[in-house]
Amino acid sequence: VAGINAARLAAGRGADFTLRRDQAYIGVLIDDLVTKPPVEPYRMFTSRAEYRLRLRNDNADQRLTPIGRELGLVDDVRWERWERTRRALDDALALLAAVRLGEGTAADLLRRPGADWETLCAVVPAARAVSPAVAFRAEVAVKYEGYLARERRQVEQMAKLESRLIPAWVDYGQVKGLRNEARSKLSKFTPRSLGQALRISGITPADVTVLAIHIERR
């Protein structure tokens, strides 16, 4: 990330690139170091990430290749490889949704305890044409669909807070109703958004609500 920003700065494009907590573990690491300075050497545990189902090793290209493309880090060969994978995954998911098996679909079969892609192939021969890597990703997407949808809603809610920037004119000492601990920590860490403020250790949702009201009234 530092290298990307150094290159952007040298090219006159600004050094403001970062990754969100829902995009990559390095995004979790950077955000933790900014909002929760460690009292001991920092170690990146998966337990530090609240969106672990999204941050899987099998979908790293899905999460990061489009970002890399926008930054000019992904060449045409790699981009086309990702596009083939994306289309194959879309086709596999479409197959699972379209094939009817009794009163349900092929996706419903995969959701059953103990069922896997081989189970599916036994009754849906067309599924054998899907590569093992794509089959695995399609199976994960189907089996964890409900959990992933819940995480997606959480990400969307946090994105709303992240989009609400804290103006530079805010003087935390003048925010009425803000706890003393919150004043101290917000003044120390100077978060750039309400979302980042909420992640500071010791800051509560009530503190963020008070701050939001203060900003709106100005």
Q: CATH number of the domain at 54-143, out of 1.10.10, 1.10.3470, 1.25.10, 2.60.120?
A: 1.10.10
The predicted model gives 44-50 an average pLDDT of 90
- Inform me whether the pLDDT recorded for 89 exceeds 90: yes
- Per-chain mean pLDDT for the chain: 93
Q: What pLDDT is recorded for position 201?
A: 86
Q: Which residue has the higher pLDDT, 195 or 36?
A: 195
The pTM of this model reads 0.81
Domain residues of the chain, as ranges?
54-143, 164-217
Q: What pLDDT is recorded for position 109?
A: 95
Which CATH architecture best describes the domain 164-217? Orthogonal Bundle (1.10)
CB 1 within 8 A of CB 26: yes
CB 111 within 8 A of CB 143: yes
Q: What pLDDT is recorded for position 65?
A: 97
Residue 56 phi/psi, 5-degree rounding, is -100, 155
Residues 6+ apart with CB under 8 A from 88: 130, 131, 134
The pLDDT tens digits of the residues spanning 146-203 come to 999 999 999 998 899 999 999 999 999 999 999 999 999 999 999 999 999 999 988 9
If you write DSSP's letter for every residue of 50-115 in order, what string do you get? S-TTTS-GGGHHHHHHHHHHHHT-S-HHHHHHHHHHHHHHHHHHHHHHH-EETTEEHHHHHTSTT-
Coil/strand/helix, residue 124: coil
**% of the chain residues with pLDDT over 90:** 83
Name the maximum alpha-carbon separation found in the chain: 68
Q: What pLDDT is recorded for position 14?
A: 83
Q: Tell me if 54-143 shares its fold with 164-217.
A: no
